[in-house]
Each structure stands twice: as structure tokens, then as C-alpha cells.
Homo-oligomer: A and B are copies of this chain.
Amino acid sequence: MSTYQAPLRDMQFVLKELAGIDEVAKLPGYEDAADVWESILDEAGAFATGVLDPLNRVADKEGCTFVDGKVTTPKGFKEAYKKFADAGWIGLPVPAEYGGQGLPQLLLGPTLEMWNASNIGFANGPLLNQGAIEAIELVGSDEQKNKWIPNLVSGKWTGTMNLTEPQAGSDLAQVRTKAVPSGDHYLITGEKIFITFGEHDMAENIVHLVLARLPDAPEGVKGISLFIVPKMLVDDNGKITEANDVICAGIEHKLGINGNPTCTMKFGEKGKGAVGYLVGEANRGLEYMFIMMNAARFSVGVQGYAVADRAYQHSLEYAKERVQMSDAATRDKTPVRIIQHPDVRRMLMWQKANLEAMRALSYYTAASLDLSHKHPDEKVRKAHKAFVELMIPVVKGWCTENGVELCSTALQIFGGMGYVEETGIAQQYRDVRITTIYEGTTGIQALDLVGRKLIRDMGATATTVIKDMEKFAKEAAAHENADVIAIGEALLKSIATLAEVSQWIGMNAMGDLRKAFACSVPYLKLWGITAGGWQMARAAKIAAEKIASGDADPFYAAKITTAKFYASHVLTQGAWYKRQIIDGSGDVMTLPEEAFELDRKMTVTA
């Protein structure tokens, strides 16, 4: 069996050389990071390999079971969650006053990557728990913070996010769950679906963060409030008193991520309503969700490439072992290991190059998130905030779309063995498929990118980032190293395409918003490959300079080769996206809705 090994060297390189962990560690409150980040990588890698990875296959096979409202998680999950909490992983980004370690978001990049690569079903628990902690930390009262957060950090309790309802998926304006004031609390009634770890056996209490409407709330997005609705009620001393009126009505049978239960939750089924506590101000629930959204979308972006990285490792291992067919380029008929076949090698390089670009762009964005929160200079904070806002839909959309495609590539390398569940690679193919959907589908990310990030500020942020990338690409294209020059030139082309297409969309948005949105997904992908290419080009330049200065680490030569492959195979997609957007946006809405079914009924010939 394949064992996950975190790509620690690449993580180290990206954190230090590309994302600037040294700068982040200078931010107020993050001073400890400088000393501990490398040991955190080491320990997290060991935890992922030693504790989470061995549970991944069994969790997929066994899944979760639902009997009489109770959910049993896969064997070992409960113990693993305790170990995870005890090791301090839940508290990594949580302030020390609530029992956390107060470390930068940047370190969430590699740690989330390791948890999700080794066991995405398990990792979804801490991910949603983190969301609940952040929500309370962000807008809860001091009393709420003290009452709920420490137990969520210690692993004694877990947290969930209850947003979706059958009629309210992408469109949270349609939320119907009701909250009626009743003394110091509210009574909640309604149904939520797709609730990750909504019910389970890993902790003594579950703290649900629930979106609901007050009786007098305005319609739409501005009438939704946020509530804490615990599974078990807790008294002022933090002791559990009795069960709240919250039940799990069932769990979904899903394509993948079978390790985590996906629950239908019913509030107030037994009587007048479940006890809930308003978090922050009334009617501002969706606004709070939007503030937290950057972190959540970033996390799912990381999931996308993390699962793909696991698949890549597995396919690499298989390609190095499986002997089949002779080398087509020689007369020798002896079968060779399939990694020696050009097409298999291309599939491995395709995975490797894309993965390294996604990792680099994700960590780089996470560093910017830290700078946007903590930098002492407001101007710097603002600039980073604008960059992060632009980049989050790109990280989420591109890394997950790419992740789905890469897992399919990894499976392909296994041939027939990839299609049987025995090998394990099919699990990654099934697991990763959720990532382009939850926390906002790729279409929603692209709408956000074009509508909120490009058009709303008239392209100002996009132009700034494009100029920054262009400045660097010109430096690379004028470098002394021939490979860096080639990479820089390919990047320049991609940037020019991005600039041209951005302008085209901006101009067309004036006349016909539908046309501007029609190819928003190819536009998002163009941003992804270009920004990823920028990071790969930066990596190549740094690597070339290390080599030139006498550094003998072979990692650097491999980085240049990988970046060069990225430039010729990945960056070149821009030529297609451009034509699709500029030539093709007008062709998206022209077929009338009713014409879609004209292919059905035969014409009676005379």
C-alpha cells in the first residue's frame, strides 16, 4: 500500500523563498512562528503519515452509519480526533487566550494540505470546527467566546456550520429556518442539509452555528441572523445539562468523502424550537459569513490540490513499479517500468507542475492574508486585502477544478487497476469531486471574480496585480539563465493575454453583463494558470540563482525543469481561454432554451 509522505521540502521552499514566512513572522503576535515553523512542518508530516493516512482507506470503505438519530464515524476517528486536539492542531491559528497557539494563517497552508491529503474525510471535521471558532471569535460576545471556544479548541466539543437548506444552496438569500425570541435566547425551527459532522460520536457536544431568520426580518440576504445552537445545552459553569431540540434525521450516501457524515439536521422537531443564542447583531449573519469566507474558500482550494497531491504520489509510486510494454523508442523488446514511457512521464510531470504551482499560489495568498490582518501599516494592509480578495476565488476555483482533473490523470496511470477500488486511487477521484462544489461552486467563484472583484473596482486591483506580475516577468525574461528567460517569456505572453481579456470583459460588461459572465470560468482559469505561472517563474529564478551561487541541492534543478514544463504545457492554455472568451462569449446564450430538446423527436420523412 501507498503511504502518504508530505512534500516537506517543497513546502519549506515555498514558505521561505516564495511566501516570505520571515516577513510574516515579523508581524505583531506572530513572532514565535520564526522559531517553530520548520518543526511544525515536521510534526504535522509525521502526524499525517502516522495517524491520519492509515485511517483513510478504512474510513472510505466503512463510511459512517446512522441508526436512530445517532451517527457512528469510521473506526479510529474518535481516537484520532483526540490525538489531533491534544497535539494542538485545532488551536494552531487560535489566539492563546482561548487555548490556541496563535500562529499565522500561512501555516494553515501546509498543515491543511497535509490533513486533507492524508484523510480529507477526517480533515473536514477540524475544518468546519475552525469555521465555528472563527465565527464566535469574530462576532461573539466575550461571554460566548469564553463559554464555547476553549472546548472547541481542546477537542472536547466540535463545531459545525449550518447554512444550506433544500431551496437555499448557492442562494442563501432563500434561507427559511426561523428564530423566535424567547427571553435571553431564541427558539429555532427548520431543516438544514449537507451539514458536515452535524452529528457524530467524537465529542460530548456539538456547537452548531446556524443561519436563520427573525420574525420581523427583511426578505433576502439582509434578513439572516447567526445563532449558536448547541446539541447539548450547557449551564453557566460550562456543564452539560440536557439535550437541545436538535436531531439528525439522516446522513447522505455520497460519491466520496465517506469518512465524514453529511447530515440532515432538524431544529425544533420535538416541540417549540431548539434553544439558540444570537451571535453578533441581528440580520447580519450573511455579512459575517462573508467575512469568514476568505479563509473557508482558501481551505477548500487547498483541499482540491491536497487530495490531488496524494493521488500524484500514489501514481508516481505505481509508475515506478509497474512493468508493461517495451520502450517504444528502442528496438529492445524487454518490458520497462511505465515511468519510462513518454506519455506516462507527461502525466506525472503534468501533475507535479500543476501541484507545485497551486501550492505556491495558495501559500503566497495565505501570507498576504496574514499581512492584510496584521501589518502595522494600514496602506500595506489594504493592498494585501485587495490582493487576497482578488485571489481567493482563483485559489478556490482553480485549485479545485485542477485538482479534479489531476486525480483523473493519476487514476489513468493505473490503467485497469485504477478502476478497481482495491488500489485506492479511485477514492481520491471520488473524494476530490466535492471540492469544486462546496463553499461556492466554481461558477460562483467566477461570478465573484468577475462581478465583485474585476468589474466593481473597474479593474483597479486586477491591473495592479497584472503590473506586478509583468514587472517580475520582464526581469525573468532578461535573466542570465536561459531556462528562466524561456519561462519569463511564456509568462509575459500569458500576462498579456490576461490583460487583454480583462479589458475585453470590462468593456463588454457595460453593454451586456451576461456576455461578461458567460466565460467567467475560463477567465478564472486564466488567472489561475497565470498567477500560478508567476509563482513558478519566481521559483525558477530563485533556484537558478541558488545554483549560480554554488548551492548543490538538486531540488533547485528539479524546480527549474518543472517550471519549464509548466511554462510549455500549462501556461499555454491561455491561448485557448482567450479565444473562448473573446470569440465565444457571444455564442453562449444564443440557443433558445426550448431548442435544447430539438434533438429528440425524429422527423417523418416523406
Contact A343 B579 (CB under 8 A): no
Q: Are B555 and A569 in contact (CB under 8 A)?
A: no
With both chains docked as a complex, state the minimum distance between the C-beta of A524 and any C-beta of chain B, in angstroms. 10
Are A568 and B589 also in contact (CB < 8 A) when A254-B420, A513-B329, A595-B561 are? no
Tell me if A584 and B598 are in contact (CB < 8 A): no
Q: How many angstroms from the CA of A323 to the CA of B167 in the assembled complex? A: 8
Q: For the complex, what is the distance from the CA of A344 to the CA of B441, rounded to whole Å? A: 11
Cβ 8 A contact of A7, one of B169, B595, B600: B600
Which 6 interchain pairs have the tightest Cβ spacing? A568-B584, A572-B579, A575-B575, A329-B513, A343-B443, A10-B599
Docked CA distance A562–B558 (Å):
44
Residues of B within 8 A of A329 (CB): 512-514, 517
Q: A341-B443, A416-B437 are in contact. List 10 more A-B contacts (CB 8 A).
A: A42-B602, A169-B416, A252-B422, A328-B451, A328-B517, A340-B593, A356-B599, A554-B598, A558-B595, A558-B599
Min CB gap A279→B, angstroms: 24
- Chain B proximity of A444: nearest CB distance (Å): 9
In the complex, A335→B220 CA distance in Å? 11
Asked if A600 meets B8 with Cβ closer than 8 Å, knowing A345-B518, A583-B572, the reply is: yes
Interface string of A17-56 (1 = CB under 8 A from B): 0000000000000000000001001100000000000000
Q: In the complex the two chains form, is B348's CB within 8 Å of A596's CB?
A: yes
A145-153, A265-273, A369-377, A426-434 - the one binding chain B: A426-434
Q: Is the CB of B595 within 8 A of A420?
A: no
Assess whether A324 is interfacial by the CB under 8 Å rule. Answer: yes
Bound CA–CA A273/B521 (angstroms): 59
Interface digits, A572-594 against B, CB 8 Å rule (1 contact, 0 not)?
11111001100110111111010
A92 to chain B minimum Cβ distance, whole angstroms, is 19
Q: Which residues of B contact A549 (CB under 8 A)?
A: none
CB pair B587 A561 closer than 8 Å: yes
Cα–Cα, bound, A253→B423 (Å): 10
The reply to whether B518 and A595 contact each other, CB–CB distance below 8 Å, is no
| A346: B residues at CB distance < 8 A | 518-519, 521, 588
Are A164's CB and B446's CB within 8 A? no
Among A239-247, A404-412, A459-467, the stretch that binds chain B is A404-412
Q: Is A456 an interface position by the 8 A CB rule?
A: no
Q: A587 near B603 (CB under 8 angstroms)?
A: no
Q: For A417, what are the chain B residues with a Cβ–Cβ distance below 8 Å?
A: 169
Q: Are B443 and A333 in contact (CB under 8 A)?
A: no
Least CB separation from A255: chain B residue: B426
Docked-complex contact A254 and B421, CB < 8 angstroms: yes
Chain B residues lying within 8 Å of A433, measured Cβ to Cβ, are 408, 411, 419, 429
On whether the beta carbons of A579 and B590 are closer than 8 Å, the reply is no
In-complex Cβ contact of A418 among B437, B572, B576 (8 A): B437
Which chain B residues border A451 with CB–CB below 8 Å?
328
Some 16 contacts from A to B, beta carbons below 8 A apart, are A169-B415, A169-B417, A252-B422, A255-B429, A328-B451, A329-B513, A343-B446, A349-B587, A412-B436, A412-B441, A412-B442, A558-B591, A558-B598, A565-B588, A568-B586, A569-B587
**CA distance in complex: A174, B335 (Å):** 9
A572: B residues at CB distance < 8 A: 576, 579-580, 583-584
Contact indicator B419/A254 (Cβ below 8 Å): yes
Please pick, from B12, B254, B442, B564, the residue contacting A602 in the complex, using a CB distance under 8 A: B12
* Interface residue A557 (Cβ < 8 Å from any Cβ of B): yes
Query: A568 touching B596 by the CB < 8 A rule?
Result: no
